[in-house]
Amino acid sequence: MARRPLPRILSTGSAQIARSRELARTAADSATDVLHPLITITRGLRRLAAAGRRRWAETPKDRRGPLLFLVASVVLVVALVPYGPLLAAVVVMSAAAWQGRDRKPPEPDGPDESQTQRLKSLYEALVPYFSTPEDPDPLYAHGGELEKVFPAYEFDQTGRTTELVIRYPAYFPDGEAEARARIEQLLHAKSGRGREYHFAWDEEGNQLTVTVLSPLPTDIAAQRFVTAPGETVLGFTDPTQVQRTLPLGYGEEQRDVPPVVWRTGIRSTEPHLLAMGQPGSGTSTLLRSIALQALQYGDVVIVEGGGTGEYACLTGRDGVLAVECGLSGATASLEWAATETERRLIAANSARQAGHPPPEDTKRPLWLLLDRPTAFSHLAAADGRKDPQALLQVPLRHGRAANVTVVVADQFDSADALSDAVRQHTRARVVLGPATAEQLRSVLGELPNTTPVAQVPPGRGYARLGAGPVHRLQVPSTPDPYDDATSDADRQAVLALLPPRTTPADGETVETGHVEAEPIQAEPLPVEAVVAESS
């Protein structure tokens, strides 16, 4: 069927509206230029009238009579003098024009002396990196022109740059990470430490844009986020990095903040996550935040290797299958998780071969949250037992098809003790706290486009989902509500998100403690056979 053309008013209406708006804007600008003297005089008369009213209000009542007599005498004298009214009108118009002038200080055409000196310092520091003796017409040379290499710049009130556009020669190897890192480190040192800078490299145009980033908000408390099933908010980032915002509550106020959303499930390309950091950097806070969000739609198994009891608030809650702090309990829980993953694969494969949808018990997400599992590796090696990390191979390799998600959090000093399966299958990465460039590259795969600062708040770091860009990240404040150092506001926010406690069949309330997960006594088929059969 031939498609009927749109009516002419619909096909050309937008162009006519845009042209009409442009004509109206041009006419308004022309009218403003023509009527500018009249606008200035009117503004001045209004200011003179306001000053007269203030003077009259400030005059005491016993002096208002003589003041009126003086004004009337002056008016009478002016009226009797030849050309008096005309001269008075000229004087009033002149005073109104003077009072109605634009009093804003004129913007400087260029940088002042201190700003010019700072630009010269940056220029001279970049000469060894952006110049070569073989260049017949070098863009960078000692004593060269600043206008050629700094086409745009902005300064703050302290005289430091807030935005700077830098041109560099085409032969500079801007595609090499080491060369770009040297330039970024130099600009960070010369532009002022203590701030975070974003570097945008335009390799086609041979330009580098340096922008000062505003600090990420650290007052975001734990709360229910507006997300779909399978979406987990890791934290919040800059508004220029993502195209989505979430409405967040700040007491009685609301703000829209751009989040870093991690998508899990069957169609996820990054089904598992690895978080690394220093002690006190906020990795446990990240795991608590993920656990509170995961309990909305699924079940959670928590394995804590630190032995600090930071997840005691989740013990005995609906959806929390186990909270283990000992080697025996952690091994039993991970054995059950591996068996459960195999059972889900077998059940889903059998239903698929029979032409039926997957069973409901295989659709509910299962989350395995492990905090410092390398501590159990050391204990198992000392006791002659099997490393519990070896039990993660099945959930990591086949967890996406079985709706099983694994989240591992550990410290940099134990990074070498992580198993190969954890390193290979955790494609969503998070680094929290201060970290060196080597540590960032080893975890994230590449360096961020921002300069890290020495002093960072807890929960502050970087996140990278798969092969995507590196985002700045601030984890929402989710502290341990049983910790005495936690504020009342944060404690109430976390307690409000906790599910109710599980009530057993006999009606007794589950007391706070560790829940032992009983391994399923079954003999499932090997996972490789199930995968081969399904394929």
Binding-site positions read 277-284
Residues that constitute the known binding site for ATP: 277-284
Among candidates 523, 472, 394, 475, which has minimal Cα distance to 211? 472
| H helix and E strand count, the chain | 16, 16
Rounded to whole angstroms, the Cα distance separating 125 from 129 reads 8
The torsion region of residue 245 among left (phi > 0), alpha (psi -120 to 50) and beta comes to: beta
What are the start-end ranges of the E strands in 217-365?
A: 231-236, 246-250, 253-257, 259-263, 273-277, 299-304, 320-324
Alpha carbons 77 and 79: distance in angstroms, whole number: 5
Buried b / exposed e along 325-364 (16+ C-beta atoms within 10 A): bbbebbbbbbbbbbbbbbbbbbbbbeeeeeeeebeeebee
Element spanning 421, H or E: helix 420-425
Please state whether 349 falls in left (phi above 0), alpha (psi between -120 and 50) or beta: alpha
Please state, in angstroms and rounded to a whole number, the distance separating the CA atoms of residues 9 and 257: 40
Chain-centroid distance, C-alpha 251? 21
Instruction: Quickly list DSSP for 226-267.
Output: ---TTEEEEEE--TTT-S--EEEEETTEEEEE-EEEEE-STT
With the C-alpha atoms ordered 454, 457, 459, 461, is the resulting torsion angle positive or negative?
negative
Query: In the beta sheet, which residues pair with residue 301?
Result: 322, 368
How far apart (Å, rounded) are the C-alpha atoms in residues 308 and 323?
A: 12
Rounded Cα distance between 205 and 196, Å, is 24
Q: How far apart are CA 99 and CA 97, in angstroms?
A: 6
CB contact set of 314 (below 8 Å; sequence gap of 6+): 288, 291, 300, 302, 320, 323, 498
Tokens of 405: 């998600």
DSSP 82: T
Alpha helix ranges (H) inside 100-246: 113-126, 146-149, 177-191
Per the listing, tokens 């109710």 go with 500
Cα dist from 414 to 228, 381, 439, whole Å: 35, 15, 12
Q: Are 279 and 293 in contact (CB under 8 A)?
A: no
Kindly provide the b/e burial profile for residues 279-316, where b requires at least 16 CB atoms within 10 angstroms of the residue's own CB.
Answer: eebbbbbbbbbbbbbbbebbbbbbbbbbeebbbbbbbb
For residue 298, report the phi and psi dihedrals to the nearest 5 degrees: -150, -170
Amino acid at the residue 487: S
